[in-house]
């Protein structure tokens, strides 16, 4: 069976979306988690060494998932136009990579982020979904986040995409997903 990439029916330019669009996105995001959970499970179990992986929501499941995820990262070259467009949006002179993650890799990152959110929620009753609307300049403005980590919410998709960039650059390994969970679990506050 072929992996079906996630296709959000939104622009994902959160700072430009209206509050209604953001609320619709939040509802859509919540509604597709069970389907994406199943899609991810099927995809992980395609590789023989992960055929027994169970998406049981346990912290231990993140070890094998992280190892599998590290094997899935793919990049593609950026065009000169894409690099120039990114540079034009940046306030600082930084080097822009000539590579970008593939759409499949982004989709898997979103699925893994959704799964990670469910592991957090299943094992930490102090956590809950939230959607910050306070300041449009806030990095997670209008996005589905987990609250309960003190003043800083956890955006599972953004954090997983960040992790996958580390995997692509070989700065992170397969243990990164489980480590992310352990680090953030220590920040949970009543």
42-81 pLDDT, tens digit each: 999 999 999 999 999 999 999 999 999 999 999 888 787 8
Where residue 169 falls among pLDDT bands split at 50, 70, 90? confident
- Largest Cα separation within the chain, whole Å, is 48
In a domain, 61, yes or no: yes
In a domain, 2, yes or no: no
Per-residue confidence (pLDDT) for residue 95, from 0 to 100: 67
Please say whether the beta carbons of 60 and 51 come within 8 A.
no
Which of these ranges, 75-89, 96-110, 170-184, has the smallest mean pLDDT?
A: 75-89
Per-residue confidence (pLDDT) for residue 76, from 0 to 100: 87
Q: Which residue has the higher pLDDT, 82 or 23?
A: 23
The count of domains in the chain is 1
Looking at every residue in the chain, the average pLDDT score rounds to 92
In a domain, 3, yes or no: no
In a domain, 54, yes or no: yes
Structure confidence by residue, pLDDT tens digits, 86-98: 677 777 766 666 6
Q: Residue 128 forms beta bridges with which residues?
A: 147
For 141, phi then psi, to 5°, come to -50, 125
Instruction: State the residue range of the domain holding 163.
Output: 15-185
Number of H helices, E strands in the chain: 6, 4
Which residue's structure tokens are 């680090």?
183
Once rounded to an integer, what is the mean pLDDT over residues 99-103? 87
In a domain, 47, yes or no: yes
In a domain, 46, yes or no: yes
In a domain, 5, yes or no: no
Per-residue confidence (pLDDT) for residue 173, from 0 to 100: 79
Among the listed residues 157, 47, 161, 155, the one whose alpha carbon sits nearest the alpha carbon of residue 102: 161
Residue 105 has pLDDT above 80, yes or no: yes
In a domain, 6, yes or no: no
């Amino acid at each position: 069976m072929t992996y079906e990439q996630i296709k959000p029916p939104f622009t994902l330019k959160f700072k430009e979306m209206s509050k209604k669009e953001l609320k619709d996105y939040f509802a859509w995001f919540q509604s597709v988690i069970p389907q994406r959970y199943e899609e991810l499970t099927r995809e992980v179990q395609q590789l023989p060494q992960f055929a027994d992986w169970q998406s049981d929501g346990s912290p231990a499941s993140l070890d094998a998932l992280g190892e599998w995820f590290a094997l899935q990262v793919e990049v593609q070259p950026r065009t000169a136009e894409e690099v120039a467009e990114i540079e034009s949006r940046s306030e600082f002179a930084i080097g822009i990579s000539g590579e970008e993650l593939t759409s499949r890799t982004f989709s898997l990152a979103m699925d893994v982020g959704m799964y990670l959110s469910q592991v957090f929620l299943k094992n930490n009753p102090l956590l809950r979904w939230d959607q910050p609307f306070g300041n449009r300049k806030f990095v997670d403005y209008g996005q589905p986040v987990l609250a309960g980590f003190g003043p800083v919410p956890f955006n599972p998709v953004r954090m997983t995409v960040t992790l996958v960039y580390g995997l692509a650059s070989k700065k992170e390994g397969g243990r990164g997903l489980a480590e992310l969970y352990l680090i953030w679990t220590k920040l949970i506050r009543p």
